Amino acid sequence: MNAIFRRRSVRDFLPKPVEKEKLERILRAAFEAPSAHNRRPWEFVVITDPAKREAIAGMSPWAKMCSKAAAVIACCADLKKGDPEYEKGGNPEDALWEQDLSAATENALLQITEEGLGGVWLGWYPDKNRVKAFSDYFKLPAHILPVTLIALGYPAKESHSRDRYDPEKVHWESWV
């Protein structure tokens, strides 16, 4: 559990590439996430090319750090796997893929910490402009939806853990 307590959002990175072995371990951790009905609706796009990372940085005012990150991992939902009603015109909001992709994203972030790296979770879905910009640029099929992006790399400065436990927000047996 040490990675849980050490993990912090890192937005400032050293100009140093991340080794492919580390990226693969991060992806393996994401694949180990729990998934509703074991649908495992995730697909991942790993971006290390500087020009592509710069393009991502321009897709959202909150994604500027992507240009300085060593890599960006796009955590995408395969709606055909994640929504059993997709082929019948189902509603994405009725499926559980959002939870699955959130769990995969958190697993990746914890492994990023274990690798001595830093990363930050960028919410991409449900912003239609960000989703369209990313989908168009990376030529995603219509049933593949970018849900979260993770900018990652070697941190430019050290983060410090702090205890965030708040007993005022814990309710034992009932609300009061």
Question: Which pair of structure tokens corresponds to residue 117?
Answer: 């790296």
Q: Which residues contact 116 (CB under 8 A, 6 or more apart)?
A: 154
For the chain, domain boundaries: 14-153
**Residue 82 pLDDT:** 82
**Residue 46 pLDDT:** 98
Q: Is residue 92 within 8 Å of 39, Cβ to Cβ?
A: no
**Residue 1 pLDDT:** 60
**Residue 32 pLDDT:** 98
CA triplet 114, 152, 133: central angle to 5 degrees?
A: 145
Query: How big, in percent rounded to 5, are the helix, strand and coil portions of the chain?
Result: 40, 20, 40
Q: What is the pTM of this model?
A: 0.93
**Residue 89 pLDDT:** 74
Nearest-angstrom CA–CA distance, 52 and 34:
30
Q: Across the 176 residues of the chain, what is the mean pLDDT of every consecutive 10-residue run?
A: 87 98 98 94 98 98 98 96 76 79 98 97 97 98 97 93 91 92
Question: Which pair of structure tokens corresponds to residue 152?
Answer: 């990652």
* Backbone dihedral region for residue 13 (phi beyond 0: left; psi -120 to 50: alpha; all else: beta): beta
Strands, E, within the chain: which ranges? 42-47, 71-78, 118-123, 144-153
Q: Is residue 30 within 8 Å of 108, Cβ to Cβ?
A: yes
Nearest-angstrom CA–CA distance, 101 and 107:
10
- Of 3.40.30.10, 3.30.565.10, 3.40.109.10, 3.30.70.360, the CATH number of 14-153 is 3.40.109.10
Q: Cβ-count burial of 75 within 10 angstroms (0-12 exposed, 13-18 middle, 19+ buried)? A: buried
What number of residues does the chain have?
Answer: 176
